[in-house]
Amino acid sequence: MRTRNKTYFASDLHLGAPERKASLEREKHFVKWLDHIKEDAAVLYLLGDVFDFWFEYQKAVPKGYVRLFGKLAELHDLGIKIYFFAGNHDLWLGDYFHHQFGAEIIHKPVLHTLHGRTYYLHHGDGLGPGDPGYKVIKKIFRNPVAQWLFHRLHPNFGISLAMFLSQRSRAQTGHLDAVDHGEKEYLVLHAREVLKHNSEIDYFVFGHRHFPKLFSLNEKSAYINLGDWIRYFSYLEADDDGVRLMHYPVDGKPEPLRHQGATLTGGDTSDA
Range with the poorest average pLDDT among 53-57, 86-90, 242-246:
53-57
pLDDT above 90 as % of the chain = 59
pLDDT digits (tens, 9 = 90+) for 52-79: 988 888 888 888 999 999 999 999 999 9
Least trusted range by pLDDT, from 44-48, 105-109, 149-153, 196-200: 149-153
Q: Is the pLDDT of residue 272 over 50?
A: no
Interval 92-120 mean pLDDT: 94
Q: Is the pTM here over 0.85, yes or no?
A: yes
Higher pLDDT: 168 or 190? It is 190
Dihedral pair phi/psi, residue 68, rounded to 5°? -65, -45
Cα distance between residue 18 and residue 96, in whole Å:
24
* Architecture category of domain 6-266 in CATH: 4-Layer Sandwich (3.60)
Whole-number Cα distances in Å, 268 to 82, 113, 115, 218: 26, 16, 13, 11
Q: Where are the domains of the chain?
A: 6-266
Q: Residues 14-19: what's their mean pLDDT?
A: 90
User: What's the pLDDT at 214?
Assistant: 93
CA distance 48 to 93: 10
Distances (CA, A) of 214 to 129, 232, 240: 21, 14, 18
How far apart are the C-alpha atoms of 151 and 146, rounded to whole Å? 9
Average predicted confidence (pLDDT) for the chain: 85
What's the gap between Cα 257 and its chain centre?
17
Q: Among 68-82, 93-107, 149-163, 168-182, which is the least confidently predicted range? A: 168-182
Dihedral in degrees, nearest 10, Cα atoms 81, 57, 87, 36: 40
